[in-house]
Amino acid sequence: MSTELDDWHARHGYVPRPRLDDYAQKYADYFVMTRRDGILQLRMHTDGGPARFDFATHNAWAQAWQEIGNDPENEVLILTGTGEEWLAPDPDPAAGATTLIQQTRLADFRYEHTYYDAIKLLENFVFGIDIPTIAALNGPSTSHTEFALLCDITLAAPTATIVDPHLLAGVAPGDGQQLTLQHLVGTKRAAYHLYTGAPITAPEALELGLVNEVVPADELLSRAWEIAESIMARPRAARRLTHAITQRPWKRALVHDLGFGVAHEMFGASPPTDSSDPLSTGGQPAPAASGPQRRTFHPGSRTCCPLPCGKLLEADGSDAMAKSDPESEGPQRSSRDCHEIRRCGAASVPPGPESGPLPTHAR
């Protein structure tokens, strides 16, 4: 963005946009950020080595995409990993998935950090970044190569692999990788890799159209910068609007399918819920049931009124307690009377012509 416009913003009270010095430090535990002549290189890492994916990474990446996309000084993005791996392998993915599923969580954790973060992780990357994107897939990965595939241009080292291991770990594949595979290699091929977890090698990925070039590992980043610099030679508006055109199919795909996939993955990953499971009741033990339980009306036996009062009824629908107490005063009431008076749990009102017929479920 021109310095003249930047100065004009400052004079007229515009809210400052994010600055690289600020957010590079904020996300230093997750990315090493380098910018030169408008080209931002984003290197994923964990403790200086290949990145490891967990819930905190989910959350940080989703937020970082927003700030990167909102910084007008960023003109082209290069995304890559550290060392010889895109993401560090999990020595036992099934055990890791089981731990994540069964671990006790605080109230609202499942919504905030399994569902919401998973949605925003892809939404913010596709909808929040409005500059050309280049992925340098630097090696094999255990998961989450969807970000490399969502970039406008994807380069791969010869050792790179693309894989979706969710089902192998006992979880339905729904948080993004399945979406990129379905759209890039087709429904049938995608289904095979989702069921088997078979990795797609770099040469196969090139043949299938998942990546644009396979480049020797020691030349990968220099090739990414070469392409980025050639893009930077074009007019600013033209290159940004070209990105908008290339990303439109992904935006459409996310709107149609991302929420569906994530919801199914989260449901499939949920632990069984019962009265002793604190996760099923917002972190609190389920309260013990009290009072009569409502049941379906069966002829020939006593049951509870199917309406909110829960009154014990005989098979003919009359008040069982009134029948058992010969000294009870007043006429015996049926489930119809109960409905007319209580109006499904509302304050008692006298029955009247406006009450209408008894609902089918209470007959």
User: What gap in Å lies between CA 97 and CA 215, rounded to an integer?
Assistant: 33
Give which of 44, 271, 65 is closest to 138, Cα–Cα.
44
User: What gap in Å lies between CA 126 and CA 128, rounded to an integer?
Assistant: 6
Return the number of other C-beta atoms located less than 10 Å from residue 222's C-beta: 10
User: What gap in Å lies between CA 231 and CA 100, rounded to an integer?
Assistant: 42
- C-alpha pair distances (Å), 102 with each of 116, 173, 277: 19, 18, 10
DSSP label at 79? E
- C-alpha pair distances (Å), 279 with each of 53, 105, 284: 23, 7, 7
- Confirm if 205 and 160 have CB atoms less than 8 A apart: yes
Catalytic position from the list 123, 146, 265, 314: 146
Give which of 278, 232, 270 is closest to 111, Cα–Cα.
270
- Confirm if 104 and 278 have CB atoms less than 8 A apart: yes
Single-letter residue type at 315: A
- Assess whether 219 carries a catalytic annotation: no
Structure tokens at 177: 């990788």
Q: Which residues are part of the catalytic machinery?
A: 146
